[in-house]
Amino acid sequence: MREFLSEKVTNIKPSGIRKFFDIVSEMKDAISLGVGEPDFDTPWHIRDEGIYAFERGKTFYTSNSGLKDLKEEISAYIKRSQGIVYNPASEVIVTVGGSEAIDIGLRAVINDGDEVIVPQPSYVSYVPCAVMAGAKPVIINLKAENEFRLTPEQLQSAITPKTKMLILPYPNNPTGAIMEREDLEKIAKIIIENDILVMSDEIYAELTYKEKHVSIVSLDGMRERTILINGFSKAYAMTGWRLGYACAPDWLIKQMVKIHQFAIMCAPTTSQYAGVEALKNGDDDVKMMRQSYNQRRRFLMDAFKKMGLDCFEPFGAFYVFPCIKEFGMTSEEFATKFLQEEKVAVVPGTAFGDCGEGYLRISYAYSLDTLKIAIARLEKFINKLRHK
């Protein structure tokens, strides 16, 4: 047989997370701190609205770019949270999770050989999606000493005449880092000077524990050159519903809708009805979950401090990213040994980029009781390592 597979695809490395997953899944009674999704169930009134949509026979396609009601709610949400207005009819598209929005956003703008700047450590999809779209990913290695924020110097030095887009993944998975207004202002200045687009992945926007999240679209001159991506998975604990969206100027959305229309048709109809309910009446749920995550975050930071484990204080998402360099092991060695000896699964930082070496991603999308058991085991484990 001939070689049938696409080189573009075969050259993509499988997700490092997946690799680790295989080890964990074979192990009995392991505790996992490895998931990147909320531990809460979708709030009942949202699920109920989904059920109601089924009962009413809302089982057909919606318009390609999404239900009118949902696009209006999304537009209203961005207006009340960021003060920026998007026309629901032409500047909003409802997608199958934020991940689809990343994919079609890249495909809509990339020509072969364009460069896309990807700060890492970050979510595993950006690089493969950029490559699939024909771009050359240019990696920026974020640094712990900057609390994993993107600095203007780092951005400046990554820009070339071929740079088309910057991916801005804040609040960040896996580090929990955030970018505040002053940080964003410096980035925006460089972006505008160099005439570059931004894809701002704000899927964790509702989960910040300092100031309220500031989107780069709210800065002067940025709305017209930004694809804002968000979704329902993290804020409303709706991962399995596969519902996300992108807001951008109409010339961009128009092209994204084309790809979406031919590849996907539309986001799941039931999920879209549930999404309307989430945006309309879900604020209290988000507040309750945020408060709960914040308590766990404080618990973990306190526990790390007590055991002397180096970790910068993250203010976003639901991850902490402790440094394990003192133990002289790679992240993968540490995580594997920790799993084998103490039966706790965490994700090696390297799953999110080479510069995640020396770090672990620990998710606090778990009950405090689970976290307590896991942290006790972590303490035991590192004490063993230290006394060797």
Partner 1 sequence: MKDELLSIIEKNSRIDFSELAVLLGTTEEEVLKTLFELEKQGVICGYHTLINWEKTSIEKVTGLIEVKVTPQRGKGFDDIAERIYNYPEVKAVYLISGGYDLLVILEEKTLKEIAGFVSDKLSTLDSVLSTATHFILKKYKDHGTILNKNSKDEREVITP
Helix (H) or strand (E) holding 138: strand 136-141
Segment 168-187, which members bind partner 1 (CB under 8 A)?
A: 173
Is residue 49 a contact partner of residue 281, using CB atoms and an 8 Å limit? no
DSSP 3-state of 151: coil
Residue span binding partner 1 (CB under 8 A) among the ranges 11-19, 134-142, 154-162, 249-257: 11-19
Beta bridge partners of 322: none
* CB closer to partner 1 out of 91 and 342: 342
For position 37 contacting partner 1 by CB under 8 A, the verdict is yes
Residue span binding partner 1 (CB under 8 A) among the ranges 28-36, 86-94, 218-226, 261-269: 28-36
* CB closer to partner 1 out of 24 and 84: 24
For position 340 contacting partner 1 by CB under 8 A, the verdict is no
CA dihedral 167, 168, 171, 174 (to 10 degrees): 40
Of 289, 345, 371, 374, which lies in the binding site for partner 1, with binding defined by CB under 8 A? 345
What phi-psi label fits residue 357: left (phi over 0), alpha (psi between -120 and 50 degrees) or beta? beta
First to last CA, the chain: 55
For position 230 contacting partner 1 by CB under 8 A, the verdict is no
Of 24, 144, 190, 373, which lies in the binding site for partner 1, with binding defined by CB under 8 A? 24
Residue 305 CA to residue 108 CA, distance in Å, equals: 46
Q: Report the nearest approach of partner 1 to the CB of residue 269 (Å).
A: 24
Q: Report the nearest approach of partner 1 to the CB of residue 138 (Å).
A: 22
Residue 308 CA to residue 301 CA, distance in Å, equals: 10
- Calculate the CA 319 to chain-centre distance: 11
Residue 256 CA to residue 25 CA, distance in Å, equals: 37
For position 15 contacting partner 1 by CB under 8 A, the verdict is yes
Residue 175 CA to residue 184 CA, distance in Å, equals: 18
> Alpha-carbon Rg of the chain, whole angstroms?
21
* CB closer to partner 1 out of 299 and 327: 299
Q: Report the nearest approach of partner 1 to the CB of residue 334 (Å).
A: 15
For position 36 contacting partner 1 by CB under 8 A, the verdict is yes
* CB closer to partner 1 out of 90 and 294: 294
Per-residue x/- track, 285-314, partner 1 (CB under 8 A): ------x---x--xx--x------------
Residue 340 CA to residue 337 CA, distance in Å, equals: 5
Q: Report the nearest approach of partner 1 to the CB of residue 91 (Å).
A: 28
Beta strand segments in 304-370, E: 319-320, 344-345, 347-348, 360-363
| Phi and psi angles of residue 358, each rounded to the nearest 5 degrees, phi first | 95, 5
* CB closer to partner 1 out of 35 and 159: 35
For position 373 contacting partner 1 by CB under 8 A, the verdict is no
* CB closer to partner 1 out of 74 and 101: 101
For position 281 contacting partner 1 by CB under 8 A, the verdict is no
* CB closer to partner 1 out of 25 and 111: 25
Q: Report the nearest approach of partner 1 to the CB of residue 209 (Å).
A: 9
For position 350 contacting partner 1 by CB under 8 A, the verdict is no
* CB closer to partner 1 out of 44 and 251: 44
DSSP 3-state of 189: helix
For position 39 contacting partner 1 by CB under 8 A, the verdict is yes
Side chain identity at 227, as an amino acid letter? I
Residue span binding partner 1 (CB under 8 A) among the ranges 67-75, 197-205, 254-262, 343-351: 343-351
CB within 8 A of 300, min separation 6: which ones?
Answer: 320, 362, 364, 371, 375
* 76, burial (CB in 10 Å: exposed 0-12, middle 13-18, buried 19+): middle
Residue 177 CA to residue 175 CA, distance in Å, equals: 5
* CB closer to partner 1 out of 223 and 297: 297
Distances (CA, A) of 291 to 256, 285, 296, 303, 321: 36, 10, 9, 18, 20
For position 156 contacting partner 1 by CB under 8 A, the verdict is no
* CB closer to partner 1 out of 27 and 85: 27
Segment 73-132, which members bind partner 1 (CB under 8 A)?
A: 123-125
Q: Which residues bind partner 1 (CB under 8 A)?
A: 15, 17-18, 20-21, 24-25, 30, 32, 34-37, 39, 123-125, 173, 291, 295, 298-299, 302, 345, 347, 351, 368
